[in-house]
Amino acid sequence: MPCAPLTTLRPARVDDLGRVLGWVPDAEACRRWAGPNVSFPATPNGAWLEMAASPDNAFALLADTVPVGFGQLLAGDHRVVHMARLIVAPGHRGRGLGRRLCEALIATACDDFAARRLTLNVYADNHVAHALYRSLGFSELLRDDAGEVILMSRPTLPPRG
Protein backbone atom coordinates (compact mmCIF):
# COMPACT_ATOMS: atom_id res chain seq x y z
CA MET A 1 0.00 0.00 0.00
CA PRO A 2 1.50 3.39 -0.98
CA CYS A 3 2.10 5.82 1.85
CA ALA A 4 -0.59 8.40 2.44
CA PRO A 5 0.50 11.99 1.84
CA LEU A 6 0.62 14.49 4.68
CA THR A 7 -2.82 15.93 5.09
CA THR A 8 -4.62 18.82 6.74
CA LEU A 9 -8.29 19.53 7.29
CA ARG A 10 -9.60 23.01 6.57
CA PRO A 11 -13.03 24.60 6.15
CA ALA A 12 -14.30 23.83 2.67
CA ARG A 13 -15.05 26.45 0.06
CA VAL A 14 -17.51 26.41 -2.83
CA ASP A 15 -14.68 25.97 -5.32
CA ASP A 16 -13.63 22.73 -3.55
CA LEU A 17 -16.92 21.23 -4.70
CA GLY A 18 -15.82 21.66 -8.32
CA ARG A 19 -13.17 19.02 -7.66
CA VAL A 20 -15.33 16.88 -5.33
CA LEU A 21 -18.20 16.70 -7.81
CA GLY A 22 -15.74 15.30 -10.36
CA TRP A 23 -15.38 12.25 -8.08
CA VAL A 24 -19.13 11.53 -8.43
CA PRO A 25 -19.58 9.90 -11.86
CA ASP A 26 -23.35 9.54 -12.15
CA ALA A 27 -26.75 10.26 -10.60
CA GLU A 28 -26.77 7.06 -8.50
CA ALA A 29 -23.31 7.79 -7.06
CA CYS A 30 -24.45 11.35 -6.31
CA ARG A 31 -27.55 10.11 -4.48
CA ARG A 32 -25.51 7.62 -2.47
CA TRP A 33 -22.91 10.22 -1.55
CA ALA A 34 -24.96 13.38 -1.09
CA GLY A 35 -28.52 12.21 -0.56
CA PRO A 36 -31.70 12.99 -2.47
CA ASN A 37 -31.51 16.78 -2.10
CA VAL A 38 -28.46 17.27 -4.32
CA SER A 39 -29.16 17.45 -8.04
CA PHE A 40 -27.16 15.62 -10.69
CA PRO A 41 -25.39 16.91 -12.57
CA ALA A 42 -24.58 19.40 -9.84
CA THR A 43 -22.73 22.66 -10.01
CA PRO A 44 -20.48 23.73 -7.15
CA ASN A 45 -22.76 26.65 -6.22
CA GLY A 46 -25.91 24.58 -6.54
CA ALA A 47 -24.54 21.67 -4.50
CA TRP A 48 -23.24 24.07 -1.83
CA LEU A 49 -26.75 25.47 -1.42
CA GLU A 50 -28.53 22.09 -1.64
CA MET A 51 -26.21 20.66 1.03
CA ALA A 52 -26.67 23.74 3.24
CA ALA A 53 -22.88 23.80 3.33
CA SER A 54 -20.87 26.52 5.03
CA PRO A 55 -17.26 26.94 6.18
CA ASP A 56 -18.59 26.04 9.64
CA ASN A 57 -19.91 22.60 8.67
CA ALA A 58 -18.08 21.52 5.50
CA PHE A 59 -14.45 20.45 5.45
CA ALA A 60 -11.84 19.58 2.85
CA LEU A 61 -8.98 17.19 3.49
CA LEU A 62 -5.93 18.48 1.66
CA ALA A 63 -2.81 16.67 0.49
CA ASP A 64 -0.43 19.59 0.12
CA THR A 65 -2.89 22.14 -1.29
CA VAL A 66 -5.11 19.74 -3.26
CA PRO A 67 -8.47 18.53 -1.89
CA VAL A 68 -8.44 14.73 -1.62
CA GLY A 69 -11.39 14.33 0.76
CA PHE A 70 -14.57 16.06 1.85
CA GLY A 71 -17.08 15.75 4.65
CA GLN A 72 -19.70 17.64 6.64
CA LEU A 73 -20.46 17.86 10.35
CA LEU A 74 -24.13 18.54 10.99
CA ALA A 75 -24.96 19.55 14.56
CA GLY A 76 -28.20 18.19 16.00
CA ASP A 77 -29.97 18.18 19.33
CA HIS A 78 -28.26 17.12 22.54
CA ARG A 79 -24.77 17.67 21.10
CA VAL A 80 -25.16 14.86 18.58
CA VAL A 81 -23.13 15.58 15.44
CA HIS A 82 -23.82 13.72 12.20
CA MET A 83 -20.88 13.07 9.88
CA ALA A 84 -22.20 13.36 6.34
CA ARG A 85 -21.12 13.31 2.70
CA LEU A 86 -17.80 11.62 3.39
CA ILE A 87 -15.78 11.04 0.24
CA VAL A 88 -12.17 10.51 -0.80
CA ALA A 89 -10.90 11.14 -4.34
CA PRO A 90 -10.95 7.88 -6.33
CA GLY A 91 -7.25 8.08 -7.19
CA HIS A 92 -6.37 8.40 -3.49
CA ARG A 93 -8.48 5.58 -2.06
CA GLY A 94 -6.82 2.66 -0.32
CA ARG A 95 -4.10 4.81 1.26
CA GLY A 96 -5.63 5.56 4.65
CA LEU A 97 -7.12 8.92 3.69
CA GLY A 98 -10.66 7.87 4.63
CA ARG A 99 -9.37 7.13 8.12
CA ARG A 100 -7.52 10.45 8.25
CA LEU A 101 -10.61 12.31 7.09
CA CYS A 102 -12.79 10.61 9.70
CA GLU A 103 -10.27 11.10 12.51
CA ALA A 104 -9.91 14.80 11.66
CA LEU A 105 -13.70 15.24 11.52
CA ILE A 106 -14.12 13.40 14.83
CA ALA A 107 -11.54 15.70 16.45
CA THR A 108 -13.27 18.76 14.99
CA ALA A 109 -16.68 17.55 16.18
CA CYS A 110 -15.28 17.10 19.70
CA ASP A 111 -13.28 20.31 19.84
CA ASP A 112 -15.43 22.77 17.89
CA PHE A 113 -18.93 21.30 18.34
CA ALA A 114 -18.50 19.81 21.85
CA ALA A 115 -20.12 16.65 20.48
CA ARG A 116 -21.20 13.98 22.93
CA ARG A 117 -22.17 11.49 20.26
CA LEU A 118 -21.39 11.07 16.57
CA THR A 119 -23.58 9.43 13.96
CA LEU A 120 -23.19 8.61 10.28
CA ASN A 121 -24.97 6.63 7.60
CA VAL A 122 -23.35 3.97 5.46
CA TYR A 123 -24.77 1.76 2.73
CA ALA A 124 -24.82 -1.87 3.80
CA ASP A 125 -23.03 -2.90 0.59
CA ASN A 126 -20.16 -0.45 1.21
CA HIS A 127 -18.09 -3.00 3.10
CA VAL A 128 -14.86 -0.97 3.09
CA ALA A 129 -16.51 2.09 4.65
CA HIS A 130 -18.49 -0.05 7.11
CA ALA A 131 -15.26 -1.74 8.30
CA LEU A 132 -13.52 1.63 8.63
CA TYR A 133 -16.32 3.09 10.74
CA ARG A 134 -16.41 0.01 12.98
CA SER A 135 -12.64 0.29 13.50
CA LEU A 136 -13.21 3.90 14.60
CA GLY A 137 -15.65 2.81 17.31
CA PHE A 138 -18.95 3.21 15.48
CA SER A 139 -21.58 0.53 16.00
CA GLU A 140 -24.79 -0.20 14.15
CA LEU A 141 -27.78 1.57 15.66
CA LEU A 142 -30.48 0.76 13.10
CA ARG A 143 -31.18 0.09 9.44
CA ASP A 144 -33.72 1.64 7.12
CA ASP A 145 -36.79 -0.42 6.18
CA ALA A 146 -35.09 -1.83 3.06
CA GLY A 147 -31.94 -2.73 5.01
CA GLU A 148 -29.85 -0.65 2.59
CA VAL A 149 -28.70 2.16 4.88
CA ILE A 150 -27.18 1.64 8.32
CA LEU A 151 -27.19 4.39 10.93
CA MET A 152 -24.03 4.05 13.01
CA SER A 153 -23.22 5.81 16.27
CA ARG A 154 -20.41 6.24 18.76
CA PRO A 155 -19.84 8.28 21.89
CA THR A 156 -17.06 10.85 21.87
CA LEU A 157 -14.21 11.25 24.27
CA PRO A 158 -14.10 14.35 26.49
CA PRO A 159 -13.02 17.50 24.58
CA ARG A 160 -9.28 17.93 24.28
CA GLY A 161 -7.60 20.81 25.89
- Residue 93 belongs to a domain with what CATH number? 3.40.630.30
Q: Is residue 130 part of a domain?
A: yes
Amino acid 118: pLDDT: 97
CA–CA distance, 102 with 77 (Å, rounded to integer): 21
Q: Is residue 1 part of a domain?
A: no
Q: Is residue 2 part of a domain?
A: no
What is the chain's mean pLDDT, rounded?
Answer: 92
Q: Would you say 59 and 51 are in contact if contact means Cβ atoms under 8 Å apart?
A: no
Q: Is residue 52 part of a domain?
A: yes
| Angle in degrees, CA 23, 1, 28, rounded to 5 | 25
Which residues, at least 6 apart from 53, have a Cβ–Cβ distance to it below 8 Å?
12, 14, 17, 47, 72
Give the domain extent around 86. 7-155
The pTM assigned to this predicted structure is 0.91
Amino acid 159: pLDDT: 46
Question: Considering only CA atoms, which of 109, 56, 81, 51 is closest in space to residue 17?
Answer: 51
pLDDT digits (tens, 9 = 90+) for 55-95: 999 999 999 889 999 999 999 999 999 999 999 999 999 99
Is residue 139 pLDDT above 80, yes or no? yes
Long-range contacts at 127-130 (CB < 8 A, ≥ 24 apart): 128/98, 129/86, 129/98
**Total structural domains within the chain:** 1
Q: Is residue 160 part of a domain?
A: no
Q: β-pairing, 149-155 with 80-88?
A: unpaired
Q: Would you say 88 and 98 are in contact if contact means Cβ atoms under 8 Å apart?
A: yes
Amino acid 156: pLDDT: 87
pLDDT digits (tens, 9 = 90+) for 26-55: 999 999 999 999 999 999 999 999 999 999
Q: Is residue 161 part of a domain?
A: no
Is residue 161 pLDDT above 70, yes or no? no
